[in-house]
Amino acid sequence: MPPTTYVYLLLLLTAISSPAVFAADTKLPERPTKIIAASCDLQERETSPQGQFVCRYVCNNTDKSKIALVYSSSGLSQCRTAIERMLKVAIK
């Protein structure tokens, strides 16, 4: 191979690896968070193929956070209509 081929190959490898190195070194700043108490209402319930009960809730905070609770079939077979949870949310 002529020497220019090696130069082009080296430039190509450098160009490909540079964005990956830059992306690995660049971190997004951590967003400040706070803990809030939220009331969450039942949105949907279902039974998984494994026999587990999945209860999906939507909370009343500004972000309308969603929670899924999974119960095994060992006892509880109903989802509560409302639950209280402590949520970690980003401060905007």
Inform me whether the pLDDT recorded for 57 exceeds 90. Answer: yes
pLDDT at 41: 93
Rounded Cα–Cα distance for residues 61 and 71 (Å) = 24
- 55 close to 72: Cβ distance less than 8 angstroms: no
Spatial CB neighbours of 74, under 8 Å, sequence gap ≥ 6: none
pLDDT at 56: 92
pLDDT at 47: 84
40-54 pLDDT, tens digit per residue, is 999 998 888 888 888
Q: Is 15 helix (H, G, I), strand (E, B) or coil?
A: helix
60-83 pLDDT, tens digit per residue, is 988 888 988 888 765 556 788 999
Q: Where are the domains of the chain?
A: 33-90
pLDDT at 61: 86
